[in-house]
């Protein structure tokens, strides 16, 4: 309760401050906030992949960023040098991400079933930061490549705020996919099975849920969301070999802030992180160079120290 009242007080304070600003400054702040929300939508989709895998198999997938980068490079390769039509390329990328998900699940995650969360965490860390990164560099080189534009270009102006169409479309696409995932988890039998498996794999197995299949599905969904996130992130930035680090570093504070088990939490967390980043770019970067690069890490540490289970996560109770 105390946390809620503190948050409410901060929100009211920000609102009062905001309304007392001169009109020009208010427009600038509004612009930053709207841009931040657009960015946050895409971050939410990136973070969703991490949450889906964690929710079903209790594996914190640190390789998500690197897989996203590999699939983004693959999409670029299909669209630009190979020049395939968009839908064909999307289908091929989707099929590839299904295969990647299945391979990771079968070869690396299944032998590790029953190991502690920390062991699988380190495994995905090594997988993401070295193996997948290496494969992407080997196959596609490491140079930045502009992704061919998928969404219509141009900008939408409402009052004093302008929104670029690619960003808006990315936000709408991300929000739509997010809704699909939330519905799946909340209202379908498969989603219920996933939540049951995350609660207790052994009991779920004995109740007749195919736990291994659930793990495989989770990894496939994770990789599909990585493909989608890569596509949308690259409508904002070029594809680059640091894209993987960029994505996972933005996804970490989102996931931690929202609570690692909570899908709606990931969305709210992503919006907060996106807005915070845009505000930092607008107001702090001119005074302290590169501060917005540091912001995600400060947020990670602050969230971890103040509220390790996040806003909507479950508090862990330890026993001997």
Distance of alpha carbon 102 from the chain centroid: 20
CB of 37 vs another protein, minimal distance in Å: 24
Taking CB under 8 A as the criterion, the residue among 22, 158, 290, 315 binding another protein is: 290
Residue with the two structure tokens 């400060």 = 298
Q: Which two tokens stand for residue 225?
A: 């969301």
116 binds another protein (CB under 8 A): yes
User: How many Cβ atoms from other residues are within 10 Å of residue 94's Cβ?
Assistant: 16
Rounded to a whole number of angstroms, the minimum distance from the CB of residue 173 to another protein is: 28
Stretch that binds another protein, among 127-135, 151-159, 201-209, 231-239 (CB under 8 A): 127-135
Please work out the total of residues on this chain that contact another protein, with binding judged by CB under 8 A: 45
* Contact with another protein (CB under 8 A) among 1, 4, 19, 305: 305
141/144 with CB nearer another protein: 141
Q: Which of 183, 295, 219 is nearest to 250 (CA)?
A: 295
Angstrom CA distances, 100 to 48, 77, 223, 244, 265, stand at 17, 17, 7, 16, 27
Query: Which stretch, 117-125, 147-155, 180-188, 224-232, contacts another protein (CB under 8 A)?
Result: 117-125
- Which region among 24-32, 86-94, 138-146, 167-175 touches another protein (by CB under 8 A)? 138-146
Residue with tokens 């995600």: 296
CA distance linking residue 278 with residue 258, whole number of Å: 19
Judged by CB under 8 A, the residue of 77, 92, 121, 148 near another protein is: 121
Among 6, 99, 113, 135, binds another protein (CB under 8 A): 135
Contacts of 64 (CB under 8 A, 6+ apart): 46, 49, 50, 53, 128, 222, 226, 247, 248, 251
Q: Which lies closer to another protein via its Cβ, residue 232 or residue 248?
A: 248
Q: Which of 125, 182, 236, 284 binds another protein (CB under 8 A)?
A: 125
| Residue found by looking up tokens 């680059």 in the block | 240
Residues 13-32 that bind another protein (CB under 8 A): none
Question: Restricting to residues 43-102, which ones interact with another protein according to CB under 8 A?
Answer: 60
With CA atoms as reference, report the closest residue to 69 among 231, 288, 219, 214.
231
Distance of CA 180 to the CA centre of its chain: 15
- Structure tokens of 271? 């919006």
Does position 314 interact with another protein (CB under 8 A)? The reply is no
Calpha distance 285→91 (Å, rounded):
40
Among 80, 98, 137, 236, binds another protein (CB under 8 A): 137
Which residues pair with residue 190 across a beta bridge?
none
Residues 223-252 contacting another protein, CB under 8 A: 245, 249, 252
Residues that bind another protein (CB under 8 A): 60, 108, 111-112, 115-119, 121-123, 125-127, 129-131, 133-135, 137-138, 141-142, 245, 249, 252, 256, 288-290, 293-294, 296-298, 300-301, 304-305, 308, 318-320
């Amino acid at each position: 309760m105390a946390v809620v009242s503190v948050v409410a007080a901060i929100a009211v304070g920000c609102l009062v401050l905001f309304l007392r600003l001169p009109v020009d400054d208010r427009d600038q702040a509004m612009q930053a906030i709207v841009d931040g929300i657009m960015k946050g939508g895409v971050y939410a989709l990136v973070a969703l992949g991490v949450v889906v895998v964690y929710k079903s198999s209790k594996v914190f997938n640190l390789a998500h960023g690197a897989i996203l980068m590999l699939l983004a490079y693959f999409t670029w390769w299909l669209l630009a040098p190979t020049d395939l039509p968009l839908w064909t390329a999307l289908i091929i990328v989707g099929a590839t991400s299904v295969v990647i998900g299945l391979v990771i699940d079968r070869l690396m995650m299944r032998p590790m079933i029953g190991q502690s969360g920390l062991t699988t965490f380190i495994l995905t860390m090594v997988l993401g930061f070295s193996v997948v990164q290496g494969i992407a560099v080997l196959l596609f080189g490491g140079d930045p490549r502009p992704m061919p534009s998928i969404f219509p270009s141009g900008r939408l102006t409402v009052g004093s705020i302008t929104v670029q169409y690619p960003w808006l479309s990315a936000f709408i696409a991300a929000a739509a996919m997010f809704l699909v995932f939330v519905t799946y988890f909340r209202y379908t039998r498969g989603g219920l099975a996933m939540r049951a498996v995350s609660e207790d794999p052994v009991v779920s197995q004995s109740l007749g849920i195919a736990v291994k299949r659930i793990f495989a599905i989770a990894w496939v969904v994770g990789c599909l969301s990585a493909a989608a996130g890569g596509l949308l992130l690259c409508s904002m930035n070029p594809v680059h070999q640091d894209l993987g680090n960029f994505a996972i570093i933005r996804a970490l504070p989102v996931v931690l802030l929202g609570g690692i088990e909570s899908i709606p939490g990931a969305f709210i967390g992503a919006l907060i992180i996106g807005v915070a980043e845009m505000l930092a770019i607008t107001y702090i970067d001119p005074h302290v160079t590169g501060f917005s690069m540091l912001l995600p890490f400060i947020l990670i540490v602050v969230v971890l120290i103040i509220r390790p289970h996040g806003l909507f996560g479950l508090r862990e109770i330890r026993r001997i």
